[in-house]
Amino acid sequence: FPSSSALIKYIRPVFVSRSDQDSRRKTVEEIKRRAQSDGKWPQIMIFPEGTCTNRSCLITFKPGAFIPGVPVQPVVLRYPNKLDTITWTWQGPGALEILWLTLCQLHNSVEIEFLPVYIPSEEERKNPVLYANNVRRVMAEALGVSVTDYTFEDCQLALAEGQLRLPSDTCLLEFAKLVRSLGLKPETLEDDLDKYAASAMKMKKEKVDLKEFSAYLEFPVSHTLESMFALFDENEDGIIDVREFVIALSVVCKPSKTLETIQLAFQLYQSENGTIIEEDLAHILKTAMGVSQINVTHLFRAVDEEEKGEITYDDFYRFAELHPHFAEDYLYADQMGAESGLETSSLSAPNGICTDFSPENAEDKNKPLQKKLN
């Protein structure tokens, strides 16, 4: 609406596009310029999580607000209403329905608490991520909620609407956190994926040890790299297939573009005549879904109509076009509730609307880290 547009421009916001790397860089520069203007600009209000959540915990703060290294004024909001219609994520009822439910209440309360100004230490000034995490901890304590290392990108991954919905016991969320910890940036992830995929195609079926994996990624050996390596070390024999890393990275990079990931996987696994066998498809889908076991026989036979014992990507693509819900029909249906755990996420909703990703409500919070993607 024109009036809304004029109102937004009046408050002098800093516009940013999540998908545009240059836009993100310019946004950080503008935040720094305003924050370091010696009072020429008023205080900047920033929502550091960068997305809507259900308020059951605080997810990872974006570092943009903390890069200037200047003091920040933490502010926390509480909505002590009997019926919570304020909390909203991108799932559930639409904005108009939420507005209607809110207006149906006799009154809606909100509490705004200004916490003491947080002055960063010298170490925090040099490390925006540390600064952000410490401020988040202070705000979480004030709200009486926990913190989680999930990010906006993790929520996108878990709730992606591709043909392959991630099961509840997937390792890919852990993998995504390791990707970030390793230093791979979301804004350059697609370029990194192309580079690693090209290298993996040259290596073909060659397996690598930890030192070779380090050289392949061009990152030094570290605890994070060792943890990532362990995710793919199926037999715990100290070697992995980097093709599985590429497939997992593709899912994290393009969570809703299932067929693009599968096409890339076919290119990595196909023989000289462009085909893969059932065992290859099992490796591909196990890795793409982040589970330790999966039965693809039903799906493979459905795609392999001519019973040749091998399929091409074109075969799979045509089948997926005719059966867009192939995962539900040929994977989940056969294995729902089985030991492989192919159950799509059914996390609780504290207010009946928003999925709960808080650590307290994760079913496997006391389980050891699932170590294998394959």
Q: Each residue of 287-342: pLDDT tens digit?
A: 888 877 788 899 999 999 999 999 999 999 999 999 888 887 887 655 544 444 44
Segments forming the whole domain that contains residue 344: 164-361
Between 245 and 43, the higher pLDDT residue:
245
Judge whether 16 lies within some domain.
no
Per mean pLDDT, which range of 186-200, 214-228, 327-341 is the poorest?
327-341
pLDDT category, 19, cuts 50, 70, 90?
low
| Number of structural domains in the chain | 1
- Residue 113 host element (H or E): strand 111-114
pLDDT more than 90, % of the chain: 39
Contact 143, 78 (CB under 8 A): yes
Judge whether 109 lies within some domain.
no
Q: By C-alpha distance, which of 79, 75, 73, 74 is closest to 54?
A: 79
pLDDT category, 367, cuts 50, 70, 90?
very low
Judge whether 345 lies within some domain.
yes
| 5: CB partners within 8 A, 6+ apart | none
Between 25 and 199, the higher pLDDT residue:
199
Strands 146-147 and 57-58: parallel
Question: Residues 255-259: what's their mean pLDDT?
Answer: 84
Contact 187, 21 (CB under 8 A): yes
Judge whether 353 lies within some domain.
yes
For residue 286 the two structure tokens come to 């196990």
Q: By C-alpha distance, which of 323, 310, 200 is closest to 250?
A: 200
Judge whether 12 lies within some domain.
no
Give the SS3 label for residue 241. strand
Hey, what's the torsion of the CAs at 77, 80, 83, 84, to 10 degrees? 10
Helix axis angle for 242-253 and 210-217, nearest 10°, is 40
For residue 12 the two structure tokens come to 């002098």
Average pLDDT, the chain: 81
Judge whether 269 lies within some domain.
yes
**Residue 163 has what pLDDT?**
64
Question: Residues 149-172: what's their mean pLDDT?
Answer: 71
d(CA 251, CA 266): 14
Judge whether 212 lies within some domain.
yes
Judge whether 14 lies within some domain.
no
